[in-house]
Structure 1
Amino acid sequence: MEILSPQNTRVKEWAGLQEKKHRDKSGKYIVEGIHLVQEALMAAAEVEILAFDVDKGMPAELKPLLQSVQGMEVIGVSAAVIGKVSSTNTPQPVFAVIRKERKGVETILAQQGSLVVVLDGVQDPGNVGTIIRSADAAGADGVILGHGCADLYNPKTIRSTMGSLFHLPVAEANLGQVLPQARERGTLLVSTSLAGTDSCYTHDFRGSQWLLIGSEGQGISPQTAALVDKSIIIPMPGRAESLNAAMAATVLLFEAMRQREFNK
């Protein structure tokens, strides 16, 4: 099947997925580019539509994966269609429409002895995506996005994950509900604070721990702070005032990984 006109009704629907309200209503989102589409297919995400530039042909990297996906519609489209649907100035030759995950936060809560990153009001999509990527790299068990965070399915967030979105559970949740549930199951809730007594290098990261990361300006909200078990500090002997949310999360994640994987 081919769709060549940007005025086609389906093309308008796909283009609408660049906006959060349409993603929320339809329960779908878009990923663009060979690498992200490849990651989605390899992770068995619910890919509904795979659209490729009909003049350039199906990318060679994707051809071996096409047989493994059931019920996926493959559509050849024009460069004009891709241009209308894309969120970038230099559109990629392929995109996919994917159904949102339904597993949610229960998958993360069910894990024993887990290392999880919890974001509270991290508004920058690049930071949210980078934190998901760092969590994946450090072998964390999941990422939870609380209220006020950039939308997980924002195109910039997705691009910043570099495919890590498909490698570990990532869920959006009400922190006021989920953090007490985690504590009841024996999880230690840890945040960073300039008033922290322990440094991230003296704190023991072993066992079930959720690392709370707040916004660049305000940190975690007072409501979330009230649920925290322990605040730790990232030592900074240099002259920089602070680290951004993604950098701070990455420092904590890799120190946690070092202790949990290499100091057994």
Structure 2
Amino acid sequence: MVKRIESSQNQKIKKWKKCHKKKWRDEYGLYLIEGLHLLEEALKVPSRVQAVIYDEHFQKENVNITAEVEEYSVPHQLFQELSQTESPQGVIAVCKMPDQRVDITERGRYLLLDSIQDPGNLGTIIRTADACGLDGIFLGKGCADLYNEKTLRAAQGSHFHLPSAAVDLTDVIKQMKEKSIQVYGTALNGQELSYTPRAVQAFALLMGNEGNGVSEDLLSLTDVNVKIPIYGNAESLNVAVASGILMYWLRGFERE
């Protein structure tokens, strides 16, 4: 049953609005997603969805909500206040943050991110890692917020498929080595990629900050440092693009 909320002074509305800020997202363990596609991805893991909010003009015939999820309809103006997109699609979901845990196994494939600051880059990297079939992402110090609205939009639902955790990357690299997982860093003085994808059975790929790359302290811990050759006149590649090339190079293109 869809409940109606009319006032911006409603306590639920006030709480949901606060979730636009990281401080309150962390406090409540909640974040907001917008649009039908992200809602559909979220509903594949229904335990992650606490509530769904509809613009009063939204047609919800094609949305199948489980009984455990609360549903609310709000006036158009109130929905606009909750939305953070330029062209709202009329549906917002309130989602629960999962436990930040990524299990490290001997045959796992992982991505380690050092100070990726742009939320759009972070979201694109998460989406690409999901498409590449990786097993988890570790976010080091200085990374953009995993639940920033720009990160969520760029990831296009991959938050619901791929476990992620904010960690000390030094500790994670040590754990990788204990599992005999080779750690690949990215550096200007690294060895250039060969044309043949590696198809590495287990790996950890370390990607760095948009401007400064991977910190020297972390590069000193890697097993191999690589770089993507630049054939034209561009100074460098966008970190999300570079991450995609390297993940697929290491992952290989043949299905297991």
Give the TM-score taking structure 1 as reference length: 0.90
Aligned residue pairs, count: 254
Give the unaligned 5+ runs of structure 2: none
* Partner SS, residue 7 of structure 2: coil
Query: Do the aligned partners of residues 150 and 81 (structure 1) sit closer, same or farther apart at CA in structure 2, a change above 3 Å counting?
Result: same
CA distance in 1, matches of 2:140, 2:14: 30
Query: Which residue does the alignment assign to 1:171?
Result: 165
Counterpart amino acid of residue 177 in structure 1: D
Q: How does 1:32-47 map to 2 (within 5 A)?
A: 32-47=34-49
Query: Which residue does the alignment assign to 1:241?
Result: 235
Q: How does 1:59-138 map to 2 (within 5 A)?
A: 60-63=61-64, 66-67=65-66, 71-105=68-102, 107=103, 109=104, 111-138=105-132
Query: Which residue does the alignment assign to 1:53?
Result: 55
Counterpart amino acid of residue 248 in structure 2: F
CA distance in 2, matches of 1:200, 1:253: 14
Q: Are 2:183 and 1:186 equivalent residues in the alignment?
A: no
CA distance in 1, matches of 2:100, 2:145: 17
Q: Are 2:253 and 1:252 equivalent residues in the alignment?
A: no
Work out the percentage of aligned pairs sharing the same amino acid: 39
CA distance in 1, matches of 2:115, 2:194: 22
Query: Which residue does the alignment assign to 2:33?
Result: 31
CA distance in 2, matches of 1:221, 1:34: 39
CA distance in 2, matches of 1:158, 1:45: 18
CA distance in 1, matches of 2:203, 2:126: 16
| 1:203 shift after superposition | 7.4
| 1:205 shift after superposition | 4.6
CA distance in 1, matches of 2:160, 2:79: 23
* Partner SS, residue 102 of structure 1: coil
Query: Which residue does the alignment assign to 1:224?
Result: 218
Counterpart amino acid of residue 74 in structure 2: V
| 1:202 shift after superposition | 5.9
CA distance in 1, matches of 2:9, 2:33: 21
- The superposition leaves residues 128-152 of structure 1 with CA deviations (integer Å, 9 ceiling, x where unpaired) of 0000111111112222211101000
| 1:34 shift after superposition | 0.7
* Partner SS, residue 42 of structure 2: helix
| 1:156 shift after superposition | 0.4
| 1:236 shift after superposition | 1.6
* Partner SS, residue 95 of structure 2: strand
CA distance in 1, matches of 2:209, 2:233: 21
